[in-house]
Amino acid sequence: MNINHILVTGRLYLELEPLLRGRTDKQFRFIQESEVNTADYEWADAFVGFRPAAQFRPEGLKWIHALGAGVDAFLQHPAWNPNVLLTRTIGAFGQQISEYCLSCILADAQHRDTFARQQQMKSWGPVPPRSLRGQRAVILGTGTIGQEVARSLEFFGMEVTGVSRGGSRKAHFVRNVTMEASGEYLETADWVINTLPLTKETESVVNEAFFARMKQCGFINVGRGASVCPNALLNAVDQGQVRVAVLDVFEEEPLPVHSPLWSHAGIRITPHISAVTGPEEAARDFLKVLEGVEQGELSAEHKVNLQLGY
């Protein structure tokens, strides 16, 4: 594929400019998302960004490269053109998200919230930490991110079950099952971690029926906000099905100030920081994909399957 005109936008557009200008054989436009106009799309062969920009018109594009791992914002846009090649950034998301999940589980096992409250009250009340060895985790999604999370938890002796559409065998999981067969493992899980991409199949898949199978379980969402029903989550925490929920992604971001998730005692919120694309990593991955696009040797992990949505 011959690519000459590349439109770069998103929150990293200024940082990416000096990192990509070395490709003097290409013409670039680095523009803020809100400032992109129809003429820019008509000029471009390729679009690079985290999500569709203003006046999104992909019909004339040959290629779209997502600077993040998620591509649902492109695929669900009303103007989406299925004839466009769609790729995504891989980077170190798996390692970052595994560190995030591990930090949450360790903080809980070592009663950090309890000790923080005791410190405020100047109260000395030892509580023995719980070992991770022998605890059971269920990971929804067994792609590169889910596998990396499983690898970290496996290292600490946790028993990890992977849940995916096909239930195919993947490394670092004790077992792999389909969503339909996950019930018995959800019932005994100490932690459930959602790493699923957002597709038609995964939208609202973590719902009341899903939470009803959990018992005093920790829940972490690092996948997509729209895959979890917020009201079902709140009810699950109130009813004790979920002991604590750690949420890093939300259907609407930033999370609105009126959301009841902010003030619930059983919920911990972080502002979508479990995996952050840095400019150097984004540039390096983009240039690697650009080379694959031009040579017709694009790796399967970068190319999005439009039917599957990831």
- 86 shares its domain with 106: no
Q: How much is the pLDDT for 67? A: 97
**243, 211 contact by CB (below 8 A):** no
- The span from the first CA to the last CA of the chain, in angstroms, equals 22
Q: Is 272 a catalytic residue?
A: yes
Q: Same structural domain for residues 195 and 238? A: yes
Longest dimension (CA), the chain: 67
- For the whole model, what pTM was predicted? 0.94
Pair 213, 262 in one domain: yes
Catalytic residue among 253, 280, 291, 301: 253
Q: What is the pLDDT of residues 101-140, one digit of tens each?
A: 999 999 999 999 999 999 999 999 999 999 999 999 999 9
What total of structural domains would you count in the chain?
2
Q: Is residue 54 part of a domain?
A: yes
Contact 293, 85 (CB under 8 A): yes
**Residue 60, amino acid:** G
Does pLDDT of 237 surpass 90? yes
- Average pLDDT of the chain is 97
| Residue 251: inside a domain | yes
Say which CATH number the domain at 245 has. 3.40.50.720
Is residue 310 included in any domain, yes or no?
no
Annotation says 208 is catalytic: no
Stretch 158-163: mean pLDDT, rounded?
Answer: 98
Q: Which residue has the tokens 């999005």?
A: 304
Is 144 within 8 Å of 301 (Cβ atoms)? Answer: yes
| Percent of the chain residues topping a pLDDT of 90 | 99
Residue 172 lies in a domain: yes
Q: How far lies 7's CA from each of 46, 87, 124, in Å?
A: 6, 15, 58
Between CA 93 and CA 44 the distance in angstroms is 28
State the residue range of the domain holding 48: 5-91+277-295
Whether residue 81 is found in the same domain as residue 191: no
Beta strands in 154-196, from DSSP E residues, in sequence order: 159-164, 175-178, 191-194
Same domain, 232 and 265: yes
The pLDDT, as a whole number, for residue 91 is 84
15-59: per-residue pLDDT in tens?
999 999 999 999 999 999 999 999 999 999 999 999 999 999 999
Which pLDDT score, from 0 to 100, does residue 206 have?
A: 98
What is the per-residue pLDDT across 54-109, written as a single tens digit (0 to 9) for each?
A: 999 999 999 999 999 999 999 999 999 999 999 999 989 999 999 999 999 999 99
Confidence check: pLDDT of 184 > 90: yes
114/230 same-domain check? yes
Q: Each residue of 279-309: pLDDT tens digit?
A: 999 999 999 999 999 999 999 999 999 999 9
Question: Based on the domain organization, do 45 and 148 belong to the same domain?
Answer: no
Residue 196, CA distances (Å) to 47, 109, 142, 199, 278 in order = 25, 25, 8, 9, 22
Do 65 and 110 lie in a common domain?
no
Burial class (CB within 10 angstroms; exposed 0-12, middle 13-18, buried 19+) of 204: middle
29 is a catalytic site residue: no
Do 41 and 127 sit in the same domain of this protein? no
The answer on 260 and 168 residing in a single domain is yes
Calpha distance 147→164 (Å, rounded): 11
Are residue 57 and residue 106 in the same domain, yes or no?
no
What would the two tokens of residue 126 be?
Answer: 């030892």
* C-alpha to C-alpha distance for 296 and 293, rounded to whole angstroms: 5
Q: Do 125 and 86 belong to one domain?
A: no
User: What's residue 78's pLDDT?
Assistant: 96
Q: Name the catalytic one among 130, 165, 272, 284.
A: 272
- 168 pLDDT higher than 90: yes
Q: Rounded mean pLDDT of 210-226?
A: 98
